[in-house]
Amino acid sequence: MDMHELIDPFARLIEDVCTPAAIRAIEAGGDAAPMWQAFTDSGFLDALVAEEAGGAGLSLADAAPLIALLGYHAVPLPVGDSMIARALLAAAGMDVPDGPIAIATGHGPVPFAGVAGHILAGSSEAPVLTVAGGEPTGVHHDIDAYVSGVDGRALRPIAAILRALLMSGATERVMEMTVAYANERTQFGKPIGKQQAVQQQLSVLAEQAVAARIAAAIGARSGLSPRPADAAIAKHGASLAAAQVAAIAHAVHGAIGISEEYDLQLLTRRLHGWRLADGSESYWAGVLGDLRLADSTQSTADFIRAA
Amino acid sequence: MFDTLSLSALPPEDEALRPALRALIAEAIADLPVHRRARSWQGFDAAFSRKLGQAGYLGLSLPKEYGGVGRGPFTRFVVVEELLSAGAPVAGHWIADRQSGPLIRHYGTEEQRQFYLPRISRGEALFCIGMSEPGSGSDLASVRSRADRQADGGWLLNGQKIWTTNAMHSDYMIALVRTSGTGADRQSGLSQLIVDLKLPGITIRPIIDLTGDAHFAEVFFDNVRLAPDALIGEEGQGWKQVTAELAFERSGPERIYSSVVLIDAWVRHLDAVGRKDSATLRLVGSLTAQLAVLREMSLAVTARLVAGESPVVEASLMKDLGTGFEQAVPQLIGDDLASHPDEAVDAELYRTLLYVTHIAPSFSLRGGTREILRGIIARGLGLR
C-alpha cells in the first residue's frame, strides 16, 4: 500500500476542519460536533478495526503516521483514542457508539475527556464503556478532565503508545514552527537563527524531535496489544523529548510564544498534558527497570534487542 | 524534517552471524577484567584483530574481489554491536575496517585497492588517520602539514599530526595534508596521502592520557619521501573525501555503546546486593529506554547507508545524542553507587566506573565535537 494514498486525504481533512480558529473555539467550550462529524464521515475512525468487522484493518504501525498527524495539528478531539477504542470494542464484539471516546488509565486528568461522549476503561480483551461525565481540571482552556469510578490500568500500555505518537507529531510541528521563526525573526540586524547559540539549541530540539518519533515508532510496532517494554520505551522517550522540545521552542520564540494569539501554545500545552498522561517518563522507566532487572545476567544490548 | 530516519530491521542473514561471532568474542575476553573490557574501542589486540579477519568478520562491506566479505553496513552493524556490547578489544583493526578500507575502495586506484584491501580484510594492515594537528582540531581546513610534488612524481612530506589514534601500533596513516596553496585557501589544496609509517623521517611519540593509557600519539614528518602512488583520490579533493569519510565514522553503533560495559557491570551489582527500590528501577529503566531508542536511530542511519546515501546530517544528529547518553552514564551510575555509602562496591566495578568517568569527555570529541555537529544539524535545518 502506498502510504501517501492514506495519509494525504487525512492531512487534507485535518487542515480543512481543524484550523487554529476551530481549535480555539472548541477549547473555549464551543460546539465540537461539526468537527467530529467530519472525522466520522471520513471513515478514518475505523482505520484500526478489523476488515471483517467493517474497518480498514490497518496495523497500529500503519496507522501511526495518521495519529502523529493529529498531534501535529493539535486536533482537540480524541480521534486517535477513538480509533483505538473502536478497534478494541469491535474485537470484543461490543457495540460502538458514534461519538468521541477518551481512554482513562489512571486517576490523573484524562486526555480529551472534557470533549468526549464516552470513556473507555477495562482491558483490551474486556473493554468497559461508560458515558462521559468528566470533572474539569480548572486549567485554562483545558479539554482534559478528571474521570472517576473507572479502572483502565490494563489499557495504560496502549494509551501510552498512542500518547507517544501524538507527542511525536506535535514535536515535529513545534520544530518546524521554531526553525521558521528563527529564520524570520531579526535581532541585532540579522535573523536570530544565524546566531550560533540559537543554532545549537535548535539542533538539540531536532535531536529530541527525532528521538520522540523513533521512540513512538518502537511502541507502534508492538501493535494494539503491546508488550509493556515497548510501551515503556515509547512513552519514556516521547515524554522526555516533549518537555525539552517545549522549553527550547519557547526560549527561541521569546515572549510571543506564550501569547494566547500565537499558535505555538496550542501545541506546547498539549505536549505538557500528554507527557503527564498515562504515566510520565519516570513511571515508565520504573516499569522498564523492573523488566530489565528480572534477568541481570542478560546484557543490556540483548535486552533492548529483544524489546 | 529528517523523516528519512525510520525504523528498520536487520536482515535475518546478518542476525544469523551472532552465535558464531559471540563464541569467538567470548574466548577473547574471557580473561579480561571489566575495566579492560570497558576500553573496547581503545583496547588494542592485534592477534584478536587477525583472528576476526581470518574468520571473515573484517572487510565486511568490501567486495570479494579485494578479499572482502561483500556484504554491507547492516552486517557491519551486527558485528560492531557484538564486539562493543561485549567490550572486545577492537582498536587494532578498527580504523582500517571502518574508514580506511571504504575510503581506499571508493577513491583508490585499482593498484591501491589490490594492495591494501585484502590485507585490511585479513586484519594485517593496521591504519591510523592523520587529521588533527596542533592548532587544527575540528578546523581541519587549517592543516599545515605539507607534501610537495617532486620531480619523480613522488612527494616530500613535512609537518606534524597530533591526537592520532594508535599511530604507534599502525602500519599506515592516511594523512590529510596541504599539497598546494596556503592556509588562506582553506579547504582547497588539501589532499589525502597514504603514509607507510616505517619510512625514514617519521617519529611517533605516544601521548599518555589521564587514565594511564596511550592510545593517542604525536607524529612528526621530517622530509619524508613518498612514492607517487601515495596520493589517494584526487589531488586537492582531500576535504571532500574527508567529509564523506566522517559520515562512516559518525553513524554506527559505536556512538551508543561506549559505556554499556559499565551499565552491565552495575546491573550485576544491583542484582548482587538485591537493590530494587523505585529510584533504582527508574534509573535502570531510563538508561535502558534511551539506549533502545538510540539503537533504533543508529540502525535507521545505517539503513540510509545501505540505500547508498551519505546521511551526514542524520549521522551528526545521532552521534550528538548518542555520545551525550554515553557521557551521562558514568555520571548517573557514579551518583547512584556513591549515594549508597553503606553498600559494598567491589574494586573492579569502581575501577570501571572511574575509567569510563575519566575517558568520557573524549566520547563527544572523537569524530567531530558536539559544537561542530550541531552546526551541521543547523545547516540541515536550513539555518545556515
Three-state secondary structure call for residue B309 = coil
| CB-nearest partner of B383 from A179, A210, A240 | A179
Rg (C-alpha) for chain A, rounded Å, is 19
Average pLDDT score over chain A? 96
Determine what percent of chain A is predicted with pLDDT higher than 70.
99
Contacting B residues, span 207-266, partner chain A, CB-CB under 8 Å:
257, 260, 263-264
Give the pLDDT of residue B365.
87
Q: Quick one: DSSP state of residue B232? A: E
Residue of A nearest to B80 (CA): A301
First and final CA of chain A: distance in angstroms? Answer: 27
- Grid cell digits, residue A226: 503491546
pLDDT value at residue A5: 86
Residues pairing with B148 in the sheet: B156
Query: Strand A127-131 vs strand A118-122: parallel, antiparallel, or unpaired?
Result: antiparallel
Distance CA A288, CA B287 (A): 10
Q: Is A214 in contact with B293 (Cβ distance < 8 A)?
A: yes
Q: B229 to chain A, minimum CA–CA distance in Å?
A: 41
B344, exposed or middle or buried, with CB in 10 Å at 0-12, 13-18, 19+? Answer: exposed
Contact yes or no for A293 and B276 at CB 8 A: yes
Return the pLDDT at A134.
Answer: 87
Its pTM stands at 0.95
Let me know if B234 is a catalytic residue. Answer: no
**Alpha carbon of A252: minimum distance to chain B alpha carbons (Å):** 13
Task: Give me the residue from B86, B288, B317 closest to A207, CB to CB.
Answer: B317
Q: How far is B73 from chain A (nearest CA, A)?
A: 18
Cβ under 8 Å to A: B residues 77-96 = 81, 85-86
Flag if B289 and A172 touch (Cβ within 8 Å).
no
Q: What is the pLDDT of residue B139?
A: 82
ipTM of the complex: 0.96
Question: Across residues A202-221, what is the average pLDDT?
Answer: 98
Concatenated DSSP letters of B167-203: GGG-SEEEEEEE-SS-GGGTTTTEEEEEEETTSTTEE
State the pLDDT at residue B247: 65
What is the dihedral angle through the alpha carbons of B156, B160, B163, B167, rounded to the nearest 10 degrees?
A: 40
Extract the residue ranges of chain B whose pLDDT is less than 70.
Answer: 247-251
Residue B250 pLDDT: 67
A1 has a pLDDT exceeding 60: no
Say what the pLDDT of residue A130 is: 97
Instruction: Please check whether residue B290 touches A, CB under 8 A.
Output: yes
Give the C-alpha separation, B256 to A57, whole Å. 37
Instruction: Give CA B183 to chain center in angstroms.
Output: 28
Radius of gyration of chain B (CA): 21
CB contact under 8 A, B297 and A210: yes
**Nearest CA to A69 among A47, A102, A88?**
A47
- Among the listed residues A48, A34, A42, A137, the one whose alpha carbon sits nearest the alpha carbon of residue A76: A34
Chain A hits for B86, CB-CB cut-off 8 Å, are: 299
Return the H-helix or E-strand segment holding B79: helix B73-86
Task: Measure in Å the smallest separation between the Cα of A129 and chain B Cα atoms.
Answer: 32
- Tell me which residue in A206, A240, A284 faces B381 most closely, judged by beta carbons: A206
Contact state of B383 with A218 under an 8 Å Cβ cutoff:
no
Q: How many other β-carbons are positioned within 10 Å of the β-carbon of residue A146?
A: 16
* Res A292: pLDDT: 97
Contact B288 A199 (CB under 8 A): no
State pLDDT tens for residues A134-190.
899 999 999 999 999 999 999 999 999 999 999 999 999 999 999 999 999 999 999
Name the minimum distance, in Å, from the CA of B358 to any CA of chain A: 22
Give SS3 for A186.
Answer: strand
**Which of B218, B249, B254, B314 is an active site residue?**
B249
- pLDDT of B107: 95
pLDDT digits (tens, 9 = 90+) for A114-125: 999 999 999 999
Q: Is B138 on the interface with A (CB under 8 A)?
A: no
Cβ–Cβ gap B5/A218 under 8 Å: no
A2 pLDDT above the threshold of 60: yes
pLDDT at residue A182, as a whole number: 97
